[in-house]
Structure 1
Amino acid sequence: MSALLAGLAAALAVPAVFELLRLVAPARALTLVTTALAPARAAGRGGRTAAGEQRRLALVAALAACVAGWLIAGALVAMVLVAVGPLLARAVVRVRHERWRTAVEADAPAAARALADAYAAGHALGGALDVAASDGALAARTRELLRESVAAREAGATLDVALAGLVARSGPGAWAGIVALLLLQRETGGDLVRLLRELAEDLEHGARVEAEARSASAQARLTARIVVALPALGAAIALLAAPSIASAVISRPGPRGLLITAVVLQCLALVAVRRLARVGER
């Protein structure tokens, strides 16, 4: 009887959801979805996400995972997914943030040349940043990054503080080298135009070498990721084919222990593949 009532409740939940969506104005629903996903989009477009927005995204992910788990496999799986949902949301934000940093770092050689051209035209460091921030040859995200340093200077921050904020957003790497060169030349002097152009050439050479290394190891990394993903894909197919298998596995100590061991080993494999791929890329 309980199984019959649960099936009836699940069947009635679907038209109830559609009726609720029909009552909500489409524009309002789109606004709610856009607001909920704003932190992930901000991490990919601007390289930053406020703490409050991250908490909101984690809450939305937890609720979505709970509903999906409840409808597919029952209450126990829903409770597990409630804990996993926020972790996945944070992982999405982190990945998009890293992609933004990678894209900005790829544009560092062009930014170094833009700064060198501005210096060659007679601008000081503050003016050179302003000119480079308006250079159409740079990507929009890079111009935005430079504009923040210019805005910090206009707001009264010292040059050191403005450049430190630039490095904090862009992360360690090419931009840290550019900022270190700017500050070092300000203290010791030297031909900054030549140094910036040589740095741009070195950064481009390093990027070419890194791209060649990624290309040489791309097939091995893809194969490793596919092998790691196969057990999870098989489990998902089995769960869709027979949703009751989840409760049957979780309710018995032996299968439950094997499942936990498999999940732990799967997570370790994911971490190992990620570390190996990162070593190959760096």
Structure 2
Amino acid sequence: MTPVSLEAAARRVMRFVRYLWSRRYDWQGKAVGSLIGLAGGLFGVVTGAIVGHMTDILLRQGRADRALVRYLENPGPHDIEECAPGAASFCALATLLALESKERRRRGGLLGVESIGTAALAAETAAAVFGLSREFLPALESYSRVAASMAPRLNRDLLAESLAARRAKAGDGAALAAALSSLARGAGAEELAREAAAILDPAGAARSAALRSLPREDDPWRILDLPKGASIDQVKASFRALAVRFHPDALSGLGEDREREAAAAFRKIESAYREILRSVEG
């Protein structure tokens, strides 16, 4: 055999060894079971098969958990197994919201269940929003427990960005944002929910922001956000801007109560504009 063929054979052997090592989690458990079986005869074969299977499951779970931790620490195009695209990042965000809301949840109950655990709550919410059956709850709870254990290290914005990217084809950003918002209790959690919604559903977040700034004043000048005595041009410009911002068509899809509130605010803006024009024009 020539030196060239020896070198080629050595390379093939090394590639095979590397392949075996890369697949070590697939055969380590079975190897342990085989050794036990060889040592114990027929009874050992059965026992070894059971132990090997259980070891295989544990090794696979350990590998999956490590991949999940790497993904949650740095959300991006990691190769992780999920019940549905984006399930891991959603569970992580839901867990963070549940943790932020924990004290309020203890006092008043959340989603009608006072004693539900953080991981279980996040998993139930994820199953509902992704349309998953209850058989997926253990996996969803696993995502949530891992996220809870590393909560201080999680980057909320990156998780929301990753979730938006993984669900881009589904186009359900508004539903995801609404599900996360339903978990928020207290200022900290509500702020986190708004930040996530701005990434998952930018249009909906803009509508919600507009609703939060609806005019509550009775003074027509303050309603139009103008100093008293502003020029006609300023009055008209402010009215046009507010009319566009609070027009009912621009704030549709918010639910009947919020839409009625927006329509009332729009009428108040129109009334303030007419009142100022009458006072200025005499």
Q: Do they superpose with TM above 0.5?
A: no
More relative contact order, 1 or 2 (CA 8 Å, 6+ apart): 1
Q: Give the structure with higher Rg (CA).
A: 2
Question: So what's the TM-score if we normalise by structure 1?
Answer: 0.29
**When you count helix as a share of all residues, which structure comes out higher?**
1
